[in-house]
Amino acid sequence: MFIYLSKKIAIPNNTKINCLAWSSEQGWIGVGGDNGLLKVLKLDPGKDGKVKGLAAPANLSMNQTLEGHSGKVQVITWNENHQKLTTSDQSGLIIVWMLYKGSWYEEMINNRNKSVVKGMAWNSDGQKICIVYEDGAVIVGSVDGNRIWGKELKGSALTGVQWSPDGKLLLFSLRDGEVHVYDNQGNFVMKLAILCLPAGGQVWVKSVQVVGLAWYDGRNGYVDVDCPCLVVCYQSGHIQIMRDENDDSPVVLDTGISAVCCCWNHNGSVLAVTGSTLLSGDTKSCNVIQFFTPFGEHLRTMKIPGREVSCCVWEGSSLRVALAVDSFIYFANIRPSYKWGYFSHTVVYSYNRQDRPGTNVIFWNTNNNECYSKKVRGLLGVAACKDHCVLAVRAEDATGQFGLILCNAIATPVDSKYMDMEPLFVAINSSHVFAASRDNFLLWHYITPKTHSTLGNAGSRHRKERLYHIDDTPSGVAEVIQDLDHTFQPTISTQVSVDPICCMAVSEKVLLIGRQSGTIQRYSLPQVALVQRYSQSCRPHSIAINCNSTMASVIDVTGVLTLLELEGASGGSNLERKDVWAMVWATDNPQLLAIMEKTRMYVLRGEDPEEPIPSVGYICSFQDLEIRAVLLDELMHSEPTKEQHLLDMEVKSLRDTRQLLDKVGITEASAFIEENPHPRLWRLLAEAAVKKLDLVTAEAAFVR
């Protein structure tokens, strides 16, 4: 995933913001701050319609100030099902607001006049609210304002509350760092086992406060089988993510930040944690937002401007986050790393559904708009090439194995390979599938109906997978010995590497593997010999190789794109582009590279960019000076249609040639094509010349 700041809204009179809440269904943003500040904002894309998705400018369509609170507004929460907003301030006053004819009005007021509200949470169907007070009082009420039950937890200073997804349990966080579980009638069930804090037991717990308690309710499916979804976050930056309240082996993290807030995205696939830390090279602490998978893998860290960050919330579709910093709201756009691919005019993508465990993989034929689906237990990755794609999956049985499934464009499995290594990274060329864990990588020669007839009985060695360790230095000798002696088995290390694999790319001639330290290793194919190591200043995030394997482009974890000269290329490249989140080389020109920068697409010819095109599409293909992109953000929530979800764009030289032929003349167009040669442009010139019966030019152009 990639994240960048996109918009900033200032609150009048420099009023500090304490809390935010973003309605996932309707898009309203509740803003609570000092001096009774309470606003409801709404961002809407412009009415232009030409630019789709995040690329469309977002403008404030609602900015209503709600009067009623006097002190600091500290807690704010939405009831999505009944379109209600519940807010509370430092004096303990609670107000429920309702929407009437496009504006928000006070519906109910409640004040115990005893203590301050520390947390409020609606259950997943919006029928009940639980309110916890600092003095240990707990009240559960219904959506129509009736009190269901109340309880005083003696000697417990409460700091937060969360419902379980099924509404049967309540979690209360206490000031001393403990988390207690009660049933929905107020009976004590258990204490949550806290395993994320350093050794020192309860003494340590007493001094650290819980700042985040979030339990994803599964309404948009789960990204993986047995996925952790309950998070407890401490001010010290220690986090544990549990599968349920009884999980005795949770995912444990030390984020290294002083945390203030954490929250799940819409489908529980990304956890955002906000706070402050001292970054390397800085002398004073700065605000950051970090992103993690439910399994604890760090995805991204972004620096946030301003003095003090107080809150972060996700938009309903998880394509944006809002951050409360001092008296400002910062919005950041997110480009998710979808598991998808494109081959044979087919987009293959995946999504999860609440009613079915596992992952649905959809094969959408963009020519005839037909869709084929395939269900897998857990999808780890997708890669595509020419007529096939490979799915890296968890095995359907409970053996703990993993599979590589080769599919054609109608989702039919053509070949498969099962193994013990977890394929976290996967790549494919016209003859082999490459899969890598953190420490090992594997080469598998797949068989398709087409190659089966030509390959015949080429011997089992070509079919047998080859496994390598990332720290080894293969020279291709082992394969030669295996050819001569079929019983020879090279020993493969399975030790954990101190410099693990983090990305991979492959062409017909070259395999590139990126490592955490910034090293990129180049192997020649098909014999897999380590040829060269390149050193980058930052950890690579993704790599792409051009059509003749002379250049590679690398995007690092900070979104900086650089070019890498492989063999056959001359001179060094000084190209550096920031905020890049995707790239695809042209399949017919080694100099052309299409990249996505924030909400713009650039085409680079060598190091020179053409004028950008506004877009947030994911690039499928780049051929014949035409770029095809797919709007995956929209595709995830609707039925695929070519008009809605595909973008076909022409490179500037193709557009200019058309204009020259239409409006100026063949001679000028011919001179322009001489300067920007490409078979597609010569073909265009030849066809135009034939129409005008300029057969000399036509013949010369057809020859070119």
Q: What is the pLDDT of residue 459?
A: 47
Summarize pLDDT for 56-93 with one digit per residue, the tens: 667 888 899 999 999 899 999 999 999 999 999 999 99
Helix axes 666-675, 695-703, angle to 10 degrees: 20
> If residue 62 lies in a helix (H) or strand (E), which one and from where to where?
strand 58-65
Q: Residue 37: what pLDDT?
A: 95
CB 276 within 8 A of CB 309: yes
| Percent of the chain with pLDDT strictly greater than 70 | 92
End-to-end CA distance of the chain: 42
Residue 584, exposed/middle/buried by CB under 10 A (0-12, 13-18, 19+)? buried
pLDDT over 60 at 201, yes or no: no
Q: Which long-range contacts (CB under 8 A, 24 or more apart) does 670-679 make?
A: 670/697, 670/701, 677/704, 678/589, 678/625, 678/653, 679/588, 679/624, 679/704
pLDDT higher than 80, residue 20: yes
CA distances to 340, 440, 463, 540 from 515, in Å:
23, 12, 28, 7
**For 683-698, what is the mean pLDDT?**
87
Other beta carbons within 10 angstroms of residue 495's beta carbon come to 9
> What is the model's pTM?
0.90
Cβ proximity of 56 and 46 under 8 Å: yes
Extract the tokens encoding 382.
Answer: 């997708």
Q: pLDDT for 417-449, tens place per residue?
A: 999 999 999 999 999 999 999 999 999 999 988
Tally of domains in the chain: 1
Whether the per-residue pLDDT at 453 is higher than 90: the answer is no
Strands 371-376 and 271-277: unpaired
Would you call 632 helix, strand, or coil by DSSP?
helix
Question: Of all helices (H) and strands (E), which one includes residue 10?
Answer: strand 2-10
Average pLDDT, the chain: 89
Given pLDDT bands bounded at 50, 70 and 90, which one contains residue 486? low
Backbone angles phi, psi at 685, to 5 degrees: -65, -45
- In the prediction, which pLDDT does 413 show? 96
**pLDDT tens digits along 123-150:** 999 999 999 999 999 999 999 889 999 9
Q: Please check the confidence at residue 155 and state whether its pLDDT lies above 70.
A: yes
Q: Which of 213, 207, 267, 219 is nearest to 242 (CA)?
A: 213
Write out the DSSP string of 149-210. Answer: EEEE-TT--EEEEEE-TTSSEEEEEETTS-EEEEETTS-EEEEPP--SSPSSHHHHHTT--E
Q: From the CB of residue 51, how many other CB atoms can be counted at a distance below 10 Å? A: 16
Residues 647-668, mean pLDDT to the nearest whole number: 89
Residue 463: predicted pLDDT: 58
> What is the pLDDT at residue 98?
94
pLDDT at 476 exceeding the cut of 90: no
Q: Which is more confident, 669 or 183?
A: 183
Which of 355-369, 467-481, 593-607 shows the lowest per-residue confidence on average (mean pLDDT)?
Answer: 467-481
Distance CA 44, CA 60 (A): 6
Question: Containing domain of residue 670, as a range?
Answer: 655-703
For residue 75 the two structure tokens come to 């807690």
Work out the pLDDT band at 670, boundaries 50, 70, 90: confident
686 located within any domain: yes
Instruction: Indicate if the pLDDT at residue 377 is higher than 90.
Output: no
pLDDT at 477 over 90: no
Edge-to-edge strand list for the sheet holding 402-407: 379-385, 388-394, 402-407, 413-419
Task: Please give the distance of CA 687 from its chain centroid, rounded to a whole number.
Answer: 44
* DSSP summary character for residue 624: T
Please give the C-alpha separations between residue 703 and each of 623, 654, 696, 697, in angstroms, as whole numbers.
Answer: 20, 19, 11, 10
Strands 17-22 and 28-33: antiparallel
| Residue 52 pLDDT class (50, 70, 90 cuts) | low
CA–CA gap between residue 229 and residue 292 (Å, rounded): 12
Contact 240, 252 (CB under 8 A): yes
Does the residue 77 lie in any domain? no
Instruction: Kindly indicate the confidence band of residue 204, based on its pLDDT and cuts at 50, 70 and 90.
Output: low
Quote the pLDDT of residue 509.
94
The answer to whether position 673 is within a domain reads: yes
Tell me how crowded residue 639 is: count the other CB atoms within 10 A of its CB. Answer: 10
Query: Letter for the amino acid at 314?
Result: W
pLDDT beyond 70 at 456: no
Element (H, E) at 426: strand 425-428
How is residue 612 annotated by DSSP?
Answer: P
Q: Is residue 148 part of a domain?
A: no
Q: How confident is the model at residue 621 (pLDDT cuts 50, 70, 90)?
A: very high
Burial class of residue 102, CB neighbours in 10 A (0-12, 13-18, 19+): exposed
Distance CA(320)–CA(203), nearest Å, equals: 39
662 domain-assigned: yes
- Quick one: tokens of 648? 């076909």
What residues does 585 pair with on adjacent strands?
593
Q: What is the pLDDT of residues 566-613, one digit of tens each?
A: 875 555 678 899 999 999 999 999 999 999 999 999 999 888 898 999
Query: If phi over 0 gives left and psi between -120 and 50 gives alpha, with beta otherwise, what is residue 644?
Result: alpha
Helix 679-691 vs helix 695-703: angle between axes, to the nearest 10 degrees? 160
Query: What pLDDT does residue 361 have?
Result: 95
**What is the model's pLDDT at position 206?**
56
CB within 8 Å of 699: residues ≥ 6 apart: none
Burial annotation 456-494 (CB, 10 A radius, 16+ → b, else e): eeeeeeeeebbbbbbeeebeeebbeebeeeeeeeeeeee
Q: Which residues contact 453 (CB under 8 A, 6 or more apart)?
A: none
The H-or-E segment that residue 671 falls in is: helix 666-675
pLDDT at 56: 67
Q: Rounded CA gap, 327 and 34, in Å? A: 10
Residue 390's Cβ-count burial label (10 Å; 0-12, 13-18, 19+) is buried
Burial of 181 from C-beta contacts in 10 A (0-12 / 13-18 / 19+): middle
